[in-house]
Copies of this chain bind each other. A is one copy, B any other.
Amino acid sequence: MSYRYEVRLAGEGGQGVVTAGLILAEAASVHEGKNVVMTQTYAAQQRGGPARAEVIISDDQIDYPKVAEADLLLALNQDAYDRYHHQMKRDGVIIVESSRVGGEQADRVMVHKIPLEEISCQATGAGISANFVALGVISGLKGIVSAVSLRAALKARESGTVRTRNLKALSAGFLVGRHMKKGKIAFPVEFRQEIDG
């Protein structure tokens, strides 16, 4: 059976969802030989407006390039969570930035509230690499792409201090994801949302 995995990354301009999507897309395609289509939408707004990237990864040809219901949602702010948390496949996974998203609503999916920015701060000295922490978590927790492929894709696209910082964030996130997968970390507000349907 052919494999198709749909990821939606959402936040606001400046949070790096497009960059995270690019690295995910290039890790999966160039380094793991998958077919990938990525779509990003920029609203006619300055930094701070809504930003969204969608990445579809498949071992088959991708005829329909839009994400309707995601397997995985990364919501880096409340608006992103509010817009997209209900557009999920059953058994989908939502990862949210715990300092920015509250008031979850019921749905059929697992929500992991993770202090991505704080982990970024601890690992790199700055919160700005939360997007790469998230990529690491996604890899460690869900195994969609390997950490090796993500690192290779990052190195191909970034250089200097930015590369160094983002590699650290990626590693920290990956460790967190692996620990979560093994049940060694459960962030306080991890929970399975109620089925309301």
Q: Using CB atoms and an 8 Å cutoff, list the residues of chain A in contact with chain B.
A: 13, 18, 22, 25-26, 28-30, 33-47, 59, 62, 65-66, 159-160, 162
Contact = CB atoms under 8 A, between A and B. Distances in A.
Nearest to A65: B39
A44 B39 contact: no
A156 B44 CA distance: 18
A44 B29 contact: yes
Contacts of A162: 159
A25 B47 contact: no
A39 B45 CA distance: 19
Copies in the complex: 2
A6 to B, nearest CB: 14
A162 B22 CA distance: 18
26 contacts: A13-B30, A18-B22, A25-B40, A25-B42, A26-B42, A28-B42, A29-B42, A29-B44, A30-B46, A30-B47, A33-B45, A33-B46, A34-B44, A37-B40, A37-B42, A38-B40, A38-B42, A39-B39, A39-B65, A41-B62, A41-B65, A44-B59, A159-B159, A159-B160, A159-B162, A160-B160
